[in-house]
Amino acid sequence: MVKRILLTLFCLVLAFGGLYAIKHYRDGKAAAQQAASRPPPTPVAVAQAIAGPLPRYLEAIGTLKAVRQVVIAPEVGGRVVALHFESGETVRTGETLVQLNDAPERGDLARFRSIAEFAQRELARVESVSDRRAISQSNVDEAKRRLGEARGDIARTEALIAQKLIRAPFDGVLGVRKINLGEYLQTGQPIVTLTDLDTLHVNFTLPEQELSRLAPRQPADLTADAFPGRAFRATVTTIEPQVAVETRTILVQATLANREHLLRPGMFTAVRVVLPAEQNVVTVPETAVDKTLYGDSLFVVRQTATGEAAQPQYTAERIFIKAGRQVDGRVAVLDGVTPGTLVITAGQINLASGAPVSLAPVDTLAESGKNSVSPRDSKLQ
C-alpha cells in the first residue's frame, strides 16, 4: 500500500512538473515573440523650453500714405508746346515738366513794358515842371496812376507766363503721363502724379483701451505681403486726440523711411507697435503645443534606462500646461514646464504617453532649428 501511494505521488509530481515546464516554455516563447513584435521607438524632434524676454506688441492693419503726393495740373488753360518729362521719371524741385503756349502773353508783356517805359518818362517830365508850379498836382497824380497801371499789367502778365511753365513742386517720382504734345489743356486737367517715396506715413487704428500704452516716438514694425519675411521699422509720430465715436478706436500715424522705394502708397501693411518686453517668460515652440477642448498639453521626453552600448532610452509623457501669449512662433507657458525641459516639436501625432521615442535630427519646423536639440546635445533634467 505504501509503495502504491509513493508511486502515485511520484506520477502526480512528474505530471505537474511536465505541465509547469510546458507552461513556462510557452510563456517564454510568447514573451520573446511579443518583444520581437514590439514597434521600434517613434522618432521625434525636440527642443528645449527656454526662459527669457517675450516681446509685446499692439497689432493692427495699416494703410500706407505718401507724406507728399499731388496731381500736377495747370492753373490756366493752354496748348501743350513742350513736354520735358517721361512717365516714371524722378524729378527735383523746380524742374520743368510742361510748357504751355505763352506767345500771346509774351506779346502783351512787351506792350505793357513799352507803356510802362513811356509812363515813366512822362512822370519824370511832369515832376520836373511841377516844382516851378507850371503844372497842377492832379496831372502828376495822373502820370503816376498810368505808370502804376502799366506796372500792374506787367506783373499780371509775368504771373500768367509763369503759370504756363509747369514745374515740379518738390522732389519725387512721376506717375503715368496723361497728356500729349499739342493737346489743349483745361484748367485743372490732370497731367501726371508726383509722389515723394522717400518718406511714407502708415495710418492704423487701435481700440481706445490701448491709449494708455501709446506714446509718440514708439517703434513700430511693418510687414507687407509684397515682401514676405521682411520687416520695416517706423516710428509713431501722431496720435489722434479724438476717439472715433462710431468705432471707439484711435487713429495713429507712424512715419518710416523708404529710401529703397520698396513700399508704395496705398499698400496694406501689418503693424505691430513695440511695447517693453515681458521678462523671464518660459516659452516653447508653437509646434509643441496641442490645443484641445480639454486644455493645452504637450509631450516631454523622459530618459528611462540605459540600454546596450550605453545608448540612452527615452519615453514620451503628455503633460497639461497653462499656455499664454503666442509671439513669433513661440508660446508662453505659464505653468507646467520649467526651463531646460525637452519638449517634442514634431512626430507627436498618434503618440501616447509612455511610448518609447528616439530623438531625431533637428526639427526644421520649430523656429528653423533655432532651439531644437539633437541627440548628442540633449541633457534631460
DSSP element (H, E) containing 322 = strand 312-327
Q: Provide the grid cell at 84.
A: 520735358
Number of domains in the chain: 4
Same domain, 183 and 88: yes
- Report CA 143 to chain centroid distance, whole Å: 70
On whether residue 342 sits in a domain, the answer given is: yes
On whether residue 18 sits in a domain, the answer given is: no
> Of the candidates 259, 277, 295, which is a domain's last residue?
277
What pLDDT is recorded for position 310? 59
> Of the candidates 180, 195, 210, which is a domain's last residue?
195
Give the count of beta carbons closer than 10 Å to the beta carbon of residue 4: 8
d(CA 265, CA 300) in angstroms, rounded, equals: 48
Express each pLDDT in 138-169 by its tens digit. Answer: 777 888 888 899 899 999 999 999 999 999 99
Percent of the chain with pLDDT over 70: 87
pLDDT at 366 over 90: no
Same domain, 75 and 188: yes
Choice between 42 and 24, residue whose per-residue pLDDT is larger: 42
Q: How far is CA 83 from CA 51, 178, 181, 249, in A?
A: 64, 12, 7, 47
Which of the residue ranges 36-40, 99-103, 365-369 would you say has the lowest mean pLDDT? 365-369
- Residue 222 contacts residue 190 (beta carbons within 8 Å): no
What CATH number does residue 91 fall under? Answer: 2.40.50.100
What are the residues facing 285 on neighbouring strands? 330
pLDDT at 369 over 70: no
On whether residue 333 sits in a domain, the answer given is: yes
What pLDDT is recorded for position 198? 94
Same domain, 113 and 227: no
What CATH number does residue 254 fall under? Answer: 2.40.30.170
Q: Provide the grid cell at 285.
A: 515652440
What three-state secondary structure class fits 87?
Answer: coil
On whether residue 1 sits in a domain, the answer given is: no
Q: Provide the grid cell at 281.
A: 517668460
Same domain, 319 and 364: yes
Question: Mean pLDDT score of the chain, rounded to an integer?
Answer: 85
Same domain, 187 and 226: no
Backbone angles phi, psi at 188, to 5 degrees: 85, 5
Q: For residue 35, name the pLDDT band (cuts at 50, 70, 90).
A: low
pLDDT at 273 over 80: yes
DSSP element (H, E) containing 33 = helix 2-37
Same domain, 254 and 286: no
Same domain, 96 and 111: no
On whether residue 324 sits in a domain, the answer given is: yes
Express each pLDDT in 235-248 by its tens digit. Answer: 999 999 999 999 99
What pLDDT is recorded for position 244? 93
Domain that holds residue 91: 70-101+164-195
What CATH number does residue 323 fall under? Answer: 2.40.420.20
What pLDDT is recorded for position 132? 56
Express each pLDDT in 63-91 by its tens digit. Answer: 999 999 999 999 999 999 999 999 999 99
Q: For residue 323, name the pLDDT band (cuts at 50, 70, 90).
A: confident
Same domain, 179 and 218: no
On whether residue 113 sits in a domain, the answer given is: yes
Same domain, 75 and 191: yes
Backbone angles phi, psi at 224, to 5 degrees: -125, 145
Express each pLDDT in 181-199 by its tens digit. Answer: 999 999 999 999 999 999 9
What are the residues facing 113 on neighbouring strands? none
d(CA 227, CA 249) in angstroms, rounded, equals: 28
On whether residue 351 sits in a domain, the answer given is: yes
Same domain, 121 and 206: no
> Of the candidates 234, 252, 277, which is a domain's last residue?
277
Nearest in space to 60 (alpha carbons), one of 263, 287, 221: 221
- Report CA 245 to chain centroid distance, whole Å: 28
On whether residue 33 sits in a domain, the answer given is: no
What CATH number does residue 111 fall under? Answer: 1.10.287
Which residues in 240-255 are b (16+ Cβ under 10 Å) and which e? eeeeeeeeebbbbbbb
Which of the residue ranges 105-114, 304-313, 339-348, 371-380 would you say has the lowest mean pLDDT? 371-380
Return the amino acid letter for 39: P
Same domain, 95 and 168: yes
Same domain, 122 and 224: no
- In total, the chain counts a number of residues equal to 381
Angle, alpha carbons 168-170-175 (nearest 5°): 60
Give the count of beta carbons closer than 10 Å to the beta carbon of residue 139: 15
d(CA 198, CA 204) in angstroms, rounded, equals: 20
